[in-house]
Amino acid sequence: MDKVLILDFGSQVTQLIARRVREAHVYSEIHPFDVSIEFIRNFNPKAIILSGGPNSVYESDYQATPELFTLGVPVLGICYGMQWMAQALGGKVESGHVREFGYAAIRARGHSALFRDIQDRCNEEGHGLLDVWMSHGDKVTALPEGFKLIASNDACPIAAMADEARRFYAVQFHPEVTHTKQGTAIISRFVLEIAGAQPSWVMKDYIETAVARIREQVGSDEVILGLSGGVDSSVAAALIHRAIGDQLTCVFVDHGLLRYREAEQVMDMFAGNLGVKVIHVHAAADFMKHLAGVSDPEQKRKIIGREFVEVFQRESAKLPKAKWLAQGTIYPDVIESAGAKTGKAHTIKSHHNVGGLPDTLHLQLLEPLRELFKDEVRELGVELGLPHHMVYRHPFPGPGLGVRVLGEVKAEYVELLQRADAIFIEELRNSRNAEGKSWYELTSQAFAVFLPVKSVGVMGDGRTYDYVVALRAVVTSDFMTAHWAELPYDLLGRVSNRIINEVRGINRVVYDVSGKPPATIEWE
């Protein structure tokens, strides 16, 4: 089997590279940038891909072994990976005065196997243009010997380069994110055609492999699973249930930070659908008690994570044979928390299910979805026979409204937010675009955020001095990058009117128009 080696310099999106390679049906593994040359030789890669990273090559000790260029293996450098390649092979990298974050158009220059016949559109002179996603402050300012320029734009005159004789390619933009429309084509071009890897790795027997692995891991032990009713834990529950049946018990935690009437809905859905044992834990008082007086987002996340663990430990103590804690952790949860397996990325926020686990946890973790992305998890759910409406729900974070009430969480704020959020979601479900699709389906995630600031308004000729709610709706396929949703004005207007009229205590509604990056989807 042909294998691609991805060296991680700490990019937030390294796993997306693996995913694109997987889409080309080639097996890949991610390893830290500083693995030894012996390791690379033994790995015997058909191709090497160098990820992006937060540092600057000219002042960082994030340097891979330059000997990898002597193996005769094709190499693709991305962003930091390009900059490192350029510097390691004798080119020059400098801090740019123009920083580029987000969308950019680049022009392909000269002939290169990487971009041949791949373009989004042409400019007036008929040159091919690519719409790409950039995220950098440094840039290559001099090509290494043997390299030619293969793409450029004004902000980044050397936006891609190649030494085709040695099959070294490098791009300043990120072909692995979906916002680079031709990204998948570029990565498969490199892996399949330039490196000549055989597309022989297919996901079709993923379920069988996963089921076998779970049976082997768990043996005759019992497993408890944190079930939120969200996509990930529901799919994990179905998968594990398929593997070990009755050895699985699900624990649904009502932490008082759920959405309007959510607890009832989740319990109904599981009683009806899965045939899985579910225990409903009422823990709102505990969570709220520990959150009182705390306003720092990371601290709130840690407290919520800790409380979750307490609940699971308490519940598992009641099941003496339970040795495993299963979670619907998926890849973006892992990467955004702590730089994935390789530990090279910066921490953006501690997702509760990853950051909050103490060493004293007497349960082993079972996370069968840990390597998958949301859309892959959904495919798996459908494959496992879960109902469509369950699999295609918007995600809801484990810390729930705890991270959507900004600052200190108070019961009063949670209740206002629940009501505003319910109105927003109801209107999204009921409004349709010209093709008859609901705006709930047209967005990937949507919710309201409670801002603990007051502003002045006038209602019924009287002065009001009340709280603000922000609406957030995004479109994304992997939740690693996202666009704010261009919701119709009349829909926004209706939601705003209803919230202000129906939720006493809120007199102003705003819409969040920030992309990710630089913002994140949740506000905390």
Ligand X SMILES: Nc1ncnc2c1ncn2[C@@H]1O[C@H](COP(=O)(O)OP(=O)(O)OP(=O)(O)O)[C@@H](O)[C@H]1O
Ligand Y SMILES: O=c1[nH]c(=O)c2[nH+]cn([C@@H]3O[C@H](COP(=O)(O)O)[C@@H](O)[C@H]3O)c2[nH]1
Ligand Z SMILES: NC(=O)CC[C@H](N)C(=O)O
Q: Where are the alpha helices (DSSP H) in 434-488?
A: 439-442
Tell whether the torsion through CA atoms of 230, 231, 232 and 233 is positive or negative.
positive
Q: Give the DSSP letter of residue 206.
A: H
Select the residue interacting with ligand Y from 167, 351, 404, 419 (CB under 6 A).
351
Residues in the chain: 524
Q: Which of 100, 156, 174, 262 is catalytic?
A: 174
CA 315 distance to own-chain centroid: 30
Q: Rule CB under 6 A: is residue 428 a binding residue for ligand Z?
A: no
Is residue 397 within the footprint of ligand X (CB under 6 A)? yes
Q: Is 231 annotated as a binding residue?
A: yes
CB of 52 to ligand Z, least distance (A): 3
Residue 289 Cα to chain centre, angstroms: 31
Stretch of residues binding ligand X (CB under 6 A), selected from 23-31, 78-86, 227-235, 355-363:
227-235
Q: Which residues of 103-131 are buried (b: 16+ CB within 10 A; e: fewer)?
A: ebebbbbeebebbeebbeeeeeeeebbbb
228 is a contact residue toward ligand X (CB under 6 A): yes
Answer yes or no whether residue 53 interacts with ligand Z by CB under 6 A. Answer: yes
Closer residue to ligand Z (CB): 60 or 313? 60
Distance CA 350, CA 426 (A): 30
Question: What's the token pair of residue 302?
Answer: 């840690």
Among residues 76, 171, 214, 227, the one that binds ligand X under rule CB under 6 A: 227
Interface mask (CB under 6 A) for ligand Z, residues 71-110, using x and -?
--------xx------------------------------
Q: What is the nearest approach in angstroms of Mg ion to the Cβ of residue 262?
A: 10
CA geometry: angle 403, 404, 408, nearest 5 deg:
65
Ordered DSSP codes for 165-187: TTTEEEESS-TTSTTSTTHHHHH
> Which of 2, 68, 64, 77 lies closest to 32, judged by CA?
64
Choose, by CB under 6 A, the member of 90, 110, 137, 275 that binds ligand Z.
137
353 binds ligand X (CB under 6 A): yes
Number of residues that bind ligand Y (CB under 6 A): 18
User: Which helix H or strand E contains 133, and what residues bound it?
Assistant: strand 128-142
Minimum separation from the CB atom of position 471 to ligand Y (A):
15
For residue 174, indicate whether it is catalytic. Answer: yes
Residue 33 touching ligand Z (CB under 6 A):
no
Beta strands of 313-425 (E only): which ranges? 322-326, 364-366
Q: Are 195 and 46 in contact (CB under 8 A)?
A: yes
**Cβ 182 to ligand X, closest distance in Å?**
29
Look at residue 88 and give its three-state secondary structure: helix
Contact code string over 472-501 relative to ligand Y, x by CB under 6 A: -------x----------------------
Binding residues (CB under 6 A) for ligand Y: these are 301, 332-333, 336, 349, 351-353, 395, 397-399, 445, 479, 516, 520-522
Contacting positions for ligand Z (CB under 6 A) = 11, 52-56, 79-80, 135-138
Residues that bind Mg ion (CB under 5 A): 228, 230, 396
The binding site for ligand X (CB under 6 A) comprises 226-228, 230-233, 251-253, 327-329, 333, 353, 393, 395-398
List residues with catalytic annotation. 79, 174, 176
